[in-house]
Amino acid sequence: MKKIFIYLLVINIIIIALVVILTKNQTRETVLQGLQKEYSVRETSSVDHSKFEILQKPFANPQDATAACLTCHTGRGEEMLKSAHFLWSREEYVEGRGITNVGKKNLLNNFCIGIGTNEASCNRCHAGYGWNHKSYDFTDQKNIDCLVCHDNSGKYTKKNGGAGMPDDSVDLNKVAQNVGKPMKTNCGSCHFYGGGGNNVKHGDLEDALLTSGTDVDVHMGYDGLNMECIDCHPAEKHVMKGKLYAVSSMNRNRALCTDCHTSMPHKETIINEHSLKVACQTCHIPTYAKVNATKMYWDWSTAGKLKDGKPYHEEDSMGNHSYLSIKGDFVWGKNVEPEYVWFNGTANHYLVGDTISDTTQVVKMNQLYGSYEDRDAQIIPVKIHRGKQVYDKKNKVLIQPNLSDSVEGNGAFWTDFNWQKASQKGMEYIDQKYSGDYGFVHTEMYWPINYMVSKKESAVSCIECHSRDGRLKNVSGFYMPGRDFNTFVDKFGLIIIILTLAGVLGHGLLRILSAHKRKK
Amino acid sequence: MNKVYIYKAYERFWHWTQMFIVFLLLFTGFEIHGSYQFFGYEEAVRYHEFAAITFLVLVVFTIFWHFATDEWKQYIPTVKNMKDQANYYLFGIFKNAPHPVRKTQLSKLNPLQRLVYFGLKVVLIPLLIFTGLLYMFYRYEHQGAIESLNIDGLETVATLHTLGAFLIIAFIIAHVYLITTGHTVLSNLKAMLTGYEEFEDDNEVEKKLTASQSAEEEAETVNE
Ligand code: HEM
């Protein structure tokens, strides 16, 4: 009788254990596996553009190529004319400002500062042709550059200092016959090189992503799914999903990890719950600038020094410029641990003409809003690019200097090395007052980190934040186990323990002494 | 010498399991607190939560046992003999005076123990459990996604939980010392292990009484 019970018990335990183990393994990886399957299939184009006659006839200029595209792709021109890639501006609601246009036309940064007077150089990355003056015609569809995004031949480049015109070497017919969906190389041709060089601005977006493995980025690594940018940033009527808070302000149309991965991708509930307050990127991007260095600090105030009347440069140990006469001092960083801030998806920006309330304080070129109390806010990783840049001491505004010019003597800083003239010229061009009294002020710009997602094994571990001096040591407003403690309770607790110990030891000692005495 | 059956089997099981769990809770708890690194944070949290749940199960069973056996009555604080017991710890113990209160199966705790254990069971452990449960199950209110215990922050919960943990340490230190104050240094410990405790028999009590009284008289004459 007893034996039967034991048999039944053992068999039941085995069955239950099997069911538990098997069902666990079944459910665990479906989301990820599903995504892997979905994104491993590559679409192929349904048409062969090289067969189209209109694309075989020579183009007199790039605008003609655009016109040729639009003969078939009707309506796309209107879409592009309204897109941020073409307008470099978005109409957005900004807390404290109301509805404003925000974009490179009216905001400044702490890299090359602003585009006014520098269009020929900066606007090389405009998805259009010939924006070399503020009077540019944003209503002419022929000004749209279709090829920079849709070239699949890899041969299309834009001319240095050419205000968005293609390089003289480009065979427009060849490119036009090899168009397709944008690839990493297309997006990267601008987005990797912001700030005047590879990885200068973002830190997590650079040309090494074209050739690196999943150890650098799990999504784009060649030994993984080798995903394209548009897999996560699909476009709807030429409006890309997602945007960067260096130039935008509203919590809308964002590309989020959870769009694909769901909001509960971990098997441990405690980690899923973290996502209410912690963005995925915070744990899954332990470091950025994993391959090439990124610019962390830019001091414009030292620019303009010459050797024998000529500009010069110096390099740091990694071979990056640490000084350039035209730009000043730089500090670069590689494998950088991000800083962390609260962010609710809305941001403010320094717009041309904003007065600086306190010039002894650091000016925020963009301010990410959010706090612990904010239900929409999460802790996100950021690169903070710090700098020192020119401002008007009397009017208390940041100066938009004229930096580049094709000839010497017109007042551009990069040719003439004179802040006074460069400031005057730049401010006049953007219709701002300039007092003639310039100085340098500290600035900060916040770059949310979204790429170079590490393999899950290398994600940030608990202790890296849950410790006294961990990654989140500067993120305030809440109690975090392992980092925070109540000073009074900790002191009081220690004192109580010491007093109890002392009492017990004293009492014990007296007992031993008195017993000793009694024996005598 | 007398031997009396004091601690029943369940009671002994409960006591030693509780000791083990509380040590684990303390050890992992203070790692979570950031006082040191041993298991690694992730593991410490896992063990602490596992130990906490085991502890809860044990507590539920033990409460049931206390009521089923009427043992709970032993913890009702009483002032009777309290002064004598305090006098014993402060003075008598150094003169080898007899224990003022006799342990029996029906009254295993002296008045001071009653008070301290009552505090432990009614204040300290419930405090730890209550704040611990809040710590474990609080949720951020988040766009209606998860609806349960909504708390704006952990600070109060965590601070009280930590305070409780410090007090438990103090209790353990005092407790471990006080068990050496039985008939012999080890008799209390043996009792919790075997169930049987050794006591002074009446003869010994008599002897001790006269001895400590004569010691007192001696002291008085010396003073004169
Ligand atoms: C003797 C009993 C216990 C002791 C000494 C103890 C000690 C501690 C300590 C020192 C901490 C760190 C607090 C901080 O720094 O914020 C902690 C955390 C914690 N305790 Fe306890 N604890 C005990 C019982 C419990 C119980 C019964 C529960 C649950 C029912 C519990 C749940 C927790 C939780 C959830 C945490 C936060 C860390 C985590 O998520 O695991 N504790 N404990």
Kindly report, residue by residue over A319-373, the tens digit of the pLDDT.
Answer: 999 999 999 999 999 999 999 999 999 999 999 999 999 999 999 999 999 999 8
Q: How far is B67 from chain A (nearest CA, A)?
A: 32
pLDDT band at A29 (very low <50, low <70, confident <90, very high): low
% of chain A at pLDDT higher than 70 = 98
**A383 has which bridge partners?**
A447
* Structural domain count, chain A: 1
ipTM: 0.88
Q: How far is A105 from chain B (nearest CA, A)?
A: 36
pLDDT band at A146 (very low <50, low <70, confident <90, very high): very high
Q: Does the distance separating the beta carbons of B41 and A466 come in below 8 Å?
A: yes
- Average pLDDT score over residue span A386-415: 95
Structure-derived torsion over alpha carbons of residues A130, A131, A133, A135, reported in degrees to the nearest 10: 110
How much is the pLDDT for B212? Answer: 64
Q: Which domain, by its residues, includes A335?
A: 197-460
A375 vs B53, higher pLDDT: B53
Closest atom of ligand 1 to CA, residue B129: 27
Does residue A99 lie in a domain region?
Answer: no
- Average pLDDT score over residue span A297-323: 95
How much is the pLDDT for B142? Answer: 52
At residue A330's C-alpha, the angle toward residues A413 and A366, to 5°, is 80
Closest atom of ligand 1 to CA, residue B135: 35
- Average pLDDT score over residue span A439-447: 98
Q: Over chain A, what is the mean pLDDT?
A: 93
Alpha carbon distance A288, A202 (integer Å): 9
Closest atom of ligand 1 to CA, residue B159: 16
Going from the C-alpha of A439 to that of each of A185, A302, A389, A420, A442, the distances in angstroms are: 40, 12, 8, 10, 10
Please classify residue A297 by burial: count the beta carbons closer than 10 Å to its beta carbon, then call 0-12 exposed, 13-18 middle and 19+ buried: middle
pLDDT band at A33 (very low <50, low <70, confident <90, very high): confident
pLDDT band at A21 (very low <50, low <70, confident <90, very high): confident
> Torsions phi, psi of A442, nearest 5?
-75, 135
**Whether residue B212 has its Cβ less than 6 Å from ligand 1:** no
- Average pLDDT score over residue span A153-181: 95
Q: Which residues of B touch A273 (CB under 8 A)?
A: 139-140, 146
Q: Give tens-digit pLDDT for B75-107.
A: 888 878 888 888 888 888 888 888 888 777 667
The verdict on A515 touching B (C-beta cutoff 8 Å) is yes
Q: Does the distance separating the beta carbons of B153 and A466 come in below 8 Å?
A: no
Half-sphere exposure of B148 (CA within 13 A, CB side): 9
Q: Which residues of A touch B29 (CB under 8 A)?
A: none
Instruction: Please tell me the class of the B2-223 domain.
Output: mainly alpha
**A440 has which bridge partners?**
A390
How much is the pLDDT for A25? Answer: 58
Pair of tokens at residue A176: 């036009």
pLDDT band at B224 (very low <50, low <70, confident <90, very high): very low
- Average pLDDT score over residue span A514-520: 85
**Whether residue B19 has its Cβ less than 6 Å from ligand 1:** no
Does residue A357 lie in a domain region?
Answer: yes
Assign A338 to helix, strand or coil.
Answer: coil
Q: Does the distance separating the beta carbons of B167 and A485 come in below 8 Å?
A: no
Q: Does the distance separating the beta carbons of A373 and B152 come in below 8 Å?
A: yes
Q: Give tens-digit pLDDT for B157-192.
A: 999 999 999 999 999 999 999 999 888 889 889 999
Q: Which residues of B touch A374 (CB under 8 A)?
A: none
Is the pLDDT at A204 greater than 70, yes or no?
yes
Assign A74 to helix, strand or coil.
Answer: coil
Closest Cα to atom 7 of ligand 1: B29
pLDDT band at B194 (very low <50, low <70, confident <90, very high): very high
Q: Name the percent of chain A in helix, strand, coil, to the closest 5.
A: 35, 15, 50
Alpha carbon distance A459, A266 (integer Å): 13
How much is the pLDDT for A160? Answer: 92
Q: Going by C-beta distance under 8 Å and a sequence separation of 6 or more, which residues neighbour residue A386?
A: A110, A296, A297, A298, A362, A442, A443, A444
Domain borders along chain B are 2-223
DSSP A380-399: EEEEEEEEEEEEETTTTEE-
Distance A478 CA to ligand 1 centre (A): 18
pLDDT band at A375 (very low <50, low <70, confident <90, very high): confident
The verdict on B140 touching A (C-beta cutoff 8 Å) is yes
Is the pLDDT at A192 greater than 80, yes or no?
yes
Interface of B with A in 146-205 (CB under 8 A): 146, 152-155, 158-159, 162-163, 165-167, 169-170, 173-174, 177, 180-181
Going from the C-alpha of A223 to that of each of A12, A209, A215, A218, A467, the distances in angstroms are: 44, 12, 9, 9, 35
- Average pLDDT score over residue span A253-257: 94
How much is the pLDDT for B85? Answer: 87
How much is the pLDDT for B89? Answer: 87
A168 vs B4, higher pLDDT: A168
How much is the pLDDT for B74? Answer: 83
Residue from A500, A511, A512 whose CB has the most chain B CBs within 10 Å, to mutate: A500
How much is the pLDDT for B150? Answer: 61
Is the pLDDT at B148 greater than 60, yes or no?
no
Does residue A6 lie in a domain region?
Answer: no
What's the one-letter identity of residue A310? K
**Whether residue B151 has its Cβ less than 6 Å from ligand 1:** no
